[in-house]
Structure 1
Amino acid sequence: MGPATRRPRVLLVTSGPLDGQDGADIKLAAAVAEVMDGVDFVWFARRPRPAGPSPVAGGQPLPLLSLDGLPHVQQRFQAALLSVAMARRTDLVHVVMTLGPGYPRFSRVWPRLIGGTPVLHTVPGVVRPELLRRARPLGTTVALSDVTARQLGRAGFGDVAVVLPMVRLDRWPVRPRPVSGPPTVLVTGHHDPLGGAYDAIRAAAVAVRAGARLRLLLALRGRPGQDLAAHERALRERAAQEGLFRTDVLGPVRDMRELIAAADVLLFLPRALGGKADVPLTVLEALATGRPAILSDLPQFSVLRDAVLRTPPGDTHRAGHLLRQLLDRPWWWQSLAEQGRAAVEENFTPERFRDRYAALYRELLP
């Protein structure tokens, strides 16, 4: 992986600080830095520095001014400028970035500014397919699913590799199912209409009207520029209108481990991913913990096969009845819990993740 006399230097480009809010892009980048031994990473660090351990052991942190750790326009602009300044001083640039509205212009300008340094671009997801008409590849491209790999290939991104994300099973051990109180249904996604929260509320209401007892817990990730307080109020009001009075709406949760362990089922029902990772890490973490998941039947989730239950996007009636049956049938719950854990153990290991990226690094490093 480069000259034996020194460790290769890799610039890890993200849209925000690596120690900021841990969205899919940030988690994937941190995972790469964690498993790629023998590499010195240059990475964006939040200033002022937050409490807690550094996401990267060693390497060179580059200060990125950020009060809340989110990738606002100012942080994206800082990241672009810093990457231009540092790219020529590294052996490889590894970009971990979703294809969003600003990507087409970025993809036309940024590569001209960084010189001939090779680039590897991991694409967690695509916000809207029509953006690809004006987008250009930054270099060798990696997708998280076959669906997005084919989509990028048709848009001129060449032969796109697929590298599934990883889950550290030692950090996400199987936890016993909670035994006290009504079952807890954990909802993840986004606040906007296609993000799954409203459909999850409607599905839970169907389950309750069919006889299920449950507590609904919404742990949703905001997007930059959203009025989260207003969105959360609207969701509470909708839950009350549906008769779901055991409902809590949480803000962003930094560490999901205890929240997932306290839940019985994960409900993730987006109608469109909207830039969320093709294989959402929270879903994988729930499966690793031994929590069955009910997902929208989006093509990006096909890699999970029978490890999850899938329902047509927007079909809250079917999702609700699946939820009721799952909560009422302990034997089915246990079977799905075991299948989910086995799927993570087979397909989403750090070893597989590391080996695929190590091979790509070897191909690109001088």
Structure 2
Amino acid sequence: MAGDERRPRVLLLTGGPLDGAGGCAVRLASDVLGALPEVDFVWFSRRPGRERPPPEHGRPVRVLSGGGGPLGPGRVQSVLAGAVFARRVALVHAFLTVGRGFPLFSRLRPLLLGGRPVLHTVAGVQDPRRLAHARPLGMTVALSESMARRLRSAGFGDVRVVPPMIGPDEWPYLPRPRGLPAVLFTGHHDPGGGAETAIDAAAEAQREGARFRLVLAMRTRPGQDAAGLAEALRERAGAAGLTDFEVRGHVGDMHALLASAHVLLFPPAVLGHADIPLTVLQALASGRPAILSDLPQFADFGHAVLRAPAGDARRTGQQLAWLLDQPRSWDMLAERGRVLVEDHFGPERFAARYAALYRELLSP
């Protein structure tokens, strides 16, 4: 595309502004924008104020938002703005999870987005049952092979796979911290999200003789009672016999949080909003060994991580106790995780794959 006389104009269709708090879908859109500077992007911008610096290129479209994410009607704004600007671009690149409103949006796609080609990056599927009522927006991109198989079986046709990217310069390899080990869980207060299993696994590891501090960095969804949910986790940790733990809210400085951690403990039973959580990739890039659920999305991680059956707190806790007692194994997993990210989630491969998809869809 770099050799084209005219730069193609592409609309990044997201549920929130790129300079807001966002989530996995917004982060993926921001990464595509940064990876393809030769494309003339149109993207949604937050007003008033910003959570983070705006992208350096492209054409912003203002939408109202609160707390960095869209207000109640914010997603409607994005849809309406997308319907207007879809007629002014050569390609619409949508970054949307398959959630409650997606089936209706997919059926209205011809009316809302017109006849322009659409590339849809599926950040995650909140409820697989919704796939039965959804239609593909156009060419579909999944973040993992397991999600691609699920989408194909649901009738999404030709589904490509482009894993998310992690910049090695943005997430440098960190030495192991000294002192009492810190075991980190970070995620949302979602059913099956893994926080409760992490607490029970930590209690099992403590019974096995491991000594550490458990840190739960929790993020809330709109409408959730953050204080009440955090207190429920504290009560569960105390009842499980944990004596050294902390429940935090959303942590803005993920670099500092990972620098203080020894191990990432992430044992969800289901993944919804993010097919491959960026937190896991950030931890591996930073040289932090990870203990994950044995979910299909993590199968390609191979021996770079430890995995336990989803919901099996006993087995997860035993793995945690073993890892904390094996410094050589810690070093080996830390190195393997970094290599995995560099080989499979690097920015060069990410940019090349999306550039090829753009050429394919924009060719006469």
Give 1:202's aligned residue. Answer: 200
How much does 1:135 deviate? 0.1
Q: With the length of structure 1 as denominator, give the TM-score of the two structures.
A: 0.96
Equivalent AA in structure 1 for residue 88 of structure 2? R
Give 1:218's aligned residue. Answer: 216
How much does 1:219 deviate? 1.2
Larger strand proportion, structure 1 or 2?
2
Percent identical residues = 57
Distance 2:72 2:327 in 1: 47
Distance 1:30 1:248 in 2: 32
Q: Look up the SS of the partner of 1:169 in the other structure.
A: coil
Equivalent of 1:287 in 261, 284, 298: 284
Give 1:165's aligned residue. Answer: 164
Give 2:261's aligned residue. Answer: 263
Whether 1:242 aligns to 2:250 is: no
The within-5 A match list for 1:281-320 is: 281-320=278-317
Asked if the contact 2:28–2:95 (Cα under 8 Å) also holds between the matched residues in 1, the reply is: yes
Cα distance change, pair 3–351 in 1 and its aligned pair in 2 (3 A) = closer
Asked if the contact 1:194–1:270 (Cα under 8 Å) also holds between the matched residues in 2, the reply is: yes
Equivalent AA in structure 2 for residue 18 of structure 1? L
Bigger drift between 184-193 and 297-306 goes to 184-193
Give 1:104's aligned residue. Answer: 103
Distance 1:19 1:9 in 2: 20
Give 2:84's aligned residue. Answer: 85
Asked if the contact 1:143–1:162 (Cα under 8 Å) also holds between the matched residues in 2, the reply is: yes
How much does 1:259 deviate? 0.4
Give 2:323's aligned residue. Answer: 326
Asked if the contact 2:20–2:51 (Cα under 8 Å) also holds between the matched residues in 1, the reply is: no
How much does 1:362 deviate? 0.3
Aligned-residue RMSD, C-alpha: 1.4
Q: Look up the SS of the partner of 2:93 in the other structure.
A: strand
Equivalent AA in structure 2 for residue 344 of structure 1? V
Whether 1:35 aligns to 2:32 is: no
The within-5 A match list for 1:108-187 is: 108-180=107-179, 182-187=180-185
Distance 2:48 2:153 in 1: 42
CA deviation vs aligned residue, 1:270-311 (integer Å, no higher than 9, x gap): 1111x2322211101100110000000001111111111000
Bigger drift between 329-338 and 65-74 goes to 65-74
Distance 2:144 2:25 in 1: 15
Distance 2:342 2:89 in 1: 35
Q: Look up the SS of the partner of 2:75 in the other structure.
A: helix
Asked if the contact 1:308–1:336 (Cα under 8 Å) also holds between the matched residues in 2, the reply is: yes
Distance 2:276 2:113 in 1: 30
Give 1:25's aligned residue. Answer: 25
How much does 1:4 deviate? 2.7
Distance 1:239 1:306 in 2: 30
Give structure 2 stretches of 5+ with no counterpart. Answer: none
How much does 1:71 deviate? 4.0
Asked if the contact 2:51–2:68 (Cα under 8 Å) also holds between the matched residues in 1, the reply is: no
Distance 1:39 1:159 in 2: 24
- Of structures 1 and 2, the one with the larger relative CO (CA 8 A, separation 6+) is 1
Asked if the contact 1:163–1:353 (Cα under 8 Å) also holds between the matched residues in 2, the reply is: yes
Q: Look up the SS of the partner of 2:341 in the other structure.
A: helix
Asked if the contact 2:148–2:161 (Cα under 8 Å) also holds between the matched residues in 1, the reply is: yes
Bigger drift between 243-252 and 190-199 goes to 243-252
Bigger drift between 187-196 and 326-335 goes to 187-196
Asked if the contact 1:43–1:60 (Cα under 8 Å) also holds between the matched residues in 2, the reply is: yes
Bigger drift between 147-156 and 81-90 goes to 147-156
Whether 1:188 aligns to 2:186 is: yes
Equivalent AA in structure 2 for residue 118 of structure 1? P
Cα distance change, pair 51–123 in 1 and its aligned pair in 2 (3 A) = closer
How much does 1:2 deviate? 8.7
Count of residues paired in the alignment: 363
Structure 1 stretches of 4+ moved >4 Å: none
Distance 2:110 2:244 in 1: 51
Distance 2:228 2:62 in 1: 32
Asked if the contact 1:94–1:119 (Cα under 8 Å) also holds between the matched residues in 2, the reply is: yes
